[in-house]
């Protein structure tokens, strides 16, 4: 049976001599595996459809060997992401995060739209990629039930005075009095960056100018939290 699914290519690997097996993150079906036949030739009609970031309406037919892509109507290739190394590294990290936190055949429309927003800003706006990565990760944690308490201690509910800590076991931000053993201290600057970026729309990230290197420190903290949650180490670009 033929089926059309609106999808983003989040991963891919060679399959047989001329095939490509790709992982699609779709609006309708969540994450799925699919095969593109004969796309390694320079003149292949669907060679664009195997590239990371490609966003389009994929026509898929289920066969004995699995799902086979027969055509694709591109919506956006987000090609401009590849023009800058840091933007590309950030975009690739976002796709890796999506691949890590999703399971096959479980739709997640909120995450799908969040991913599209992040890729669009990386491709078409002059924004520090770290801003996009931090906002995306905060949204991921919130969607998975690890919402960061940014205005008060998540344990006692009291205000933050001087020191504050990220509990790597629970993902909560606590005060000194509620600090758990497996915690790392976060500075007031990092805490402020988390507040600002989490509350700023993607479309307005280009208006921000945060303290120098504060976004890298903040991203590093979130990547440690992600590694603890999913046992997956992501590289800081």
Per-residue pLDDT of 161-173, as tens digits, reads 889 999 988 888 9
**Residue 88: inside a domain, yes or no?**
no
Query: What is the percentage of the chain residues whose pLDDT exceeds 90?
Result: 70
**Residue 97: inside a domain, yes or no?**
no
Structure tokens of 236?
Answer: 């800081």
**Residue 115: inside a domain, yes or no?**
no
**134 with 42, same domain?**
no
- Which contiguous run of DSSP H or E holds residue 199? helix 188-199
Q: What is the mean pLDDT of residues 181-189?
A: 92
At 144 the pLDDT is: 83
The chain-wide mean pLDDT, for the chain, equals: 92
**Residue 101: inside a domain, yes or no?**
no
**Residue 50: inside a domain, yes or no?**
yes
Q: Which of 57, 76, 95 is the last residue before a domain boundary?
A: 76
The answer on pLDDT for 143 being more than 80 is: yes
| Cα–Cα dist 170/229, whole Å | 9
Q: Which residue has the tokens 């994929």?
A: 58
**46 with 134, same domain?**
no
**140 with 226, same domain?**
yes
At 64 the pLDDT is: 74
> Which one, of 122, 130, 87, lies nearest residue 217 by Cα?
130
**67 with 147, same domain?**
no
Percent helix, strand, coil in the chain, to 5, is 40, 25, 35
**Residue 102: inside a domain, yes or no?**
no
**Residue 236: inside a domain, yes or no?**
no
SS3 86: helix
Q: Give the range of the structural domain holding residue 220, as residue numbers without chain letter.
A: 125-230
**137 with 58, same domain?**
no
Structure tokens of 202?
Answer: 């993607």
Strand ranges (E), 66-203: 66-76, 164-167, 173-175, 183-186
Number of domains the chain is built from: 2
The answer on pLDDT for 55 being more than 80 is: yes
Task: Please report, for the domain that includes residue 30, its CATH number.
Answer: 2.40.50.140
**Residue 205: inside a domain, yes or no?**
yes
The answer on pLDDT for 112 being more than 90 is: yes
- Which contiguous run of DSSP H or E holds residue 192? helix 188-199
List of residues 6+ apart from 20 with CB closer than 8 A: 12, 13, 14, 35, 36, 39, 40, 50
**133 with 218, same domain?**
yes
At 83 the pLDDT is: 93
Residue with the larger pLDDT of the pair 146 and 3: 3
The answer on pLDDT for 237 being more than 80 is: no
């Amino acid at each position: 049976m033929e089926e059309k699914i609106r999808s983003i290519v989040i991963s891919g690997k060679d399959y047989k001599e001329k095939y490509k097996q790709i992982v699609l993150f779709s609006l309708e079906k969540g994450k799925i595996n699919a095969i593109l036949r004969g796309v390694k030739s320079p003149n292949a009609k669907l060679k664009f459809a195997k590239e990371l970031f490609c966003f389009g309406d994929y026509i898929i037919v289920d066969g004995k060997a699995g799902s086979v892509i027969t055509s694709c109507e591109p919506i956006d290739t987000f090609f401009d992401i590849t023009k800058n190394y840091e933007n590309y590294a950030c975009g690739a990290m976002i796709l890796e995060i999506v691949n890590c936190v999703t399971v096959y055949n479980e739709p997640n429309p909120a995450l799908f739209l969040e991913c599209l927003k992040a890729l669009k800003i990386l491709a078409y706006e002059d924004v520090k990629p770290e801003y996009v990565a931090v906002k995306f990760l905060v949204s991921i944690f919130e969607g998975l039930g690890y919402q960061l308490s940014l205005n008060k201690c998540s344990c006692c509910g009291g205000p933050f005075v001087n020191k504050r800590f990220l509990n790597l076991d629970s993902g909560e931000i606590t005060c000194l009095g509620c600090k758990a053993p497996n915690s790392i201290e976060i500075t007031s600057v990092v805490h402020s960056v988390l507040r600002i970026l989490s509350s700023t729309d993607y479309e307005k990230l280009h208006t921000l100018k945060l303290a120098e290197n504060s976004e890298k420190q903040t991203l590093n903290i979130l990547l440690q939290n992600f590694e603890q949650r999913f046992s997956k180490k992501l590289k800081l670009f």
